[in-house]
């Protein structure tokens, strides 16, 4: 958590955001570049809720390619999406979802200044509270949890249409309820979502158990070149691998398609920390993802490197070469404080 910023929103914060959403005639929603399940699911769910209230709604993100990952291609509300080039230049009301800082909005970052009002809805510990109104709950398991609360406070029924993207956000940011952020309230929300009749089994299957064969081959190659350093991270261990941009291009895959690779790598029992460096075929450089099993705060480490995220799942972007990145990470992990078990 950033110094001086509250851990959770107060009642006045909720009331102010709900009032803004009620009174706005048009709302523009934006999430971070390369949206994951929580970013996209939260944005679509809020967009559908606002449309049900009669608002004019558009949603987008400011990065290329502007393509919805296959895993999320059946979600309700995709018709709300517009390319960044068609996003309002000066929205009446801008709401950002699952975005820790304005720069993570990519080419839409300037809308924070041009919008009549900017509302930030997020749960990242590294969130900079860059909005005029900030609904940031650093204890929440997912941004979808906050959007579900907004739906309730707006007095809308929890329909299947809203539940599907909310469930997507919930399961992706809790790792199918395996991560430490999963609380009794998370399971209670999941029960409410399932009670609408959504096919949760199909949602999970598409996200976690469906991939093109080229991904399977790429996964094998990435795991084959992985390295284990048992003495790294103060003796807790580090496992890492790379996915060059040319491999993604050859497999006709994007960065979003290989998000799950790190979850395979982190299963190595000898390593506390897993790292995947993914070459960016569009913008160049590398996208670096980190996961911790609970003893090291990788979120704080990534924030210091210009990125951000959660305590146990975070990342950053860099133009440095992989050997330079790994040298820096080894040094930072050597001195990183160990969290209580």
Q: Give the residue among 150, 142, 149 at the shortest CA–CA distance from 167.
A: 142
Distance CA 238, CA 326 (A): 10
CA 296 to the chain's CA centroid = 20
Examine the fold and report which residue of 191, 207, 223 is the final residue of a domain before the chain moves on: 207
- Same structural domain, 61 and 27: yes
Instruction: Write the CATH number for 259.
Output: 3.10.310.30
Examine the fold and report which residue of 176, 207, 238 is the final residue of a domain before the chain moves on: 207
Segment 254-271, tens digit of pLDDT: 888 898 999 999 999 999
Looking at every residue in the chain, the average pLDDT score rounds to 94
Residue 1 maps to a domain: no
Statement: residue 6 has pLDDT above 80: no
- Same structural domain, 171 and 237: no
Segment 57-73, tens digit of pLDDT: 999 999 888 989 889 99
Q: Give the residue among 258, 318, 313 at the shortest CA–CA distance from 123.
A: 313
Distance CA 292, CA 339 (A): 11
- Same structural domain, 134 and 269: no
DSSP one-letter string for 261-320: HHHHHTT-TT-SEEEEEEE-TTT-SEEEEEEESSSB-HHHHHHHTT-EE-SSEEEEEE-S
- Same structural domain, 52 and 114: yes
- Same structural domain, 115 and 229: no
Residue 341 maps to a domain: no
Residue 6 maps to a domain: no
- Same structural domain, 179 and 301: no
Q: Provide the b/e sequence for 103-114 (b: ≥16 CB within 10 Å).
A: ebbbebbebbee
Segment 232-251, tens digit of pLDDT: 999 999 999 999 999 999 99
SS3 231: coil
Domain count across the chain: 2
Examine the fold and report which residue of 189, 207, 225 is the final residue of a domain before the chain moves on: 207
Q: Record the pTM.
A: 0.91
Distance CA 241, CA 262 (A): 9
Residue 5 maps to a domain: no
Residue 150 maps to a domain: yes
- Same structural domain, 167 and 87: yes
**Is-contact 120 131, C-beta < 8 A?**
yes
Side by side, which strands form the sheet with 94-97? 56-61, 26-31, 94-97, 118-122, 133-136
Statement: residue 9 has pLDDT above 60: yes
Distance CA 329, CA 222 (A): 19
- Same structural domain, 21 and 132: yes
- Same structural domain, 97 and 229: no
Residue 127 maps to a domain: yes
pLDDT band with cut points at 50, 70 and 90 for residue 1: very low
**Is-contact 43 146, C-beta < 8 A?**
no
Maximum C-alpha span of the chain: 58
Instruction: Write the CATH number for 162.
Output: 3.90.1640.10
- Same structural domain, 217 and 203: no
Residue 340 maps to a domain: no
- Same structural domain, 195 and 286: no
- Same structural domain, 160 and 267: no
Residue 3 maps to a domain: no
Statement: residue 336 has pLDDT above 90: no
Domain with 59 in it: 11-207
SS3 83: coil
Q: Percentage of residues in the chain with pLDDT exceeding 70? A: 98
Cβ neighbours, 10 Å, residue 2:
13
Statement: residue 281 has pLDDT above 50: yes
Side by side, which strands form the sheet with 238-243? 227-229, 238-243, 273-279, 286-292, 313-318, 308-309
pLDDT band with cut points at 50, 70 and 90 for residue 3: very low
């Amino acid at each position: 958590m950033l110094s001086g910023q509250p851990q959770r929103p107060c009642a006045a914060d909720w009331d102010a955001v709900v009032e803004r959403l009620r009174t706005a005639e048009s709302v523009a929603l934006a999430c971070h570049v390369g949206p994951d399940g929580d970013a996209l699911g939260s944005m679509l769910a809020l967009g559908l809720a606002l449309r049900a209230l009669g608002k004019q709604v558009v949603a987008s993100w400011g990065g290329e390619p502007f393509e919805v990952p296959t895993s999320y291609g059946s979600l309700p509300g995709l018709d709300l999406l517009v390319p960044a080039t068609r996003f309002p230049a000066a929205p009446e009301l801008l709401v950002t979802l699952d975005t820790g800082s304005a720069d993570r909005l990519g080419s839409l970052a300037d809308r924070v200044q041009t919008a009549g009002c900017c509302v930030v809805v997020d749960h990242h510990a590294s969130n900079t509270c860059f909005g005029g109104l900030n609904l940031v709950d650093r204890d929440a398991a997912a941004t979808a949890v906050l959007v579900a609360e907004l739906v309730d406070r707006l007095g809308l029924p929890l329909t299947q249409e809203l539940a599907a993207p909310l469930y997507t956000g919930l399961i992706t940011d809790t790792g199918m309820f395996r991560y430490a952020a999963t609380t009794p309230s998370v399971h209670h929300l999941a029960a409410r979502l399932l009670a609408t009749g959504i096919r949760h089994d199909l949602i999970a299957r598409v996200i976690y158990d469906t991939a093109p064969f080229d991904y399977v081959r790429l996964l094998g190659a990435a795991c084959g070149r992985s390295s284990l350093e048992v003495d790294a991270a103060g003796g807790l261990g580090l496992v890492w691998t790379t996915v060059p941009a040319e491999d993604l291009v050859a497999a006709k895959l994007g960065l979003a398609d290989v998000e799950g690779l790190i979850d395979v790598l982190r299963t190595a029992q000898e390593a506390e920390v897993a790292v995947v460096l993914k070459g960016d075929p569009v913008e160049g450089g590398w996208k670096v993802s980190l996961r911790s099993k609970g003893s090291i705060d990788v979120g704080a480490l990534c924030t210091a490197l210009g990125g951000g995220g959660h305590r146990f799942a975070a990342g950053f972007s860099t133009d440095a070469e992989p050997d330079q990145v790994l040298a820096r990470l080894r040094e930072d992990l050597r001195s990183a404080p160990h969290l209580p078990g």
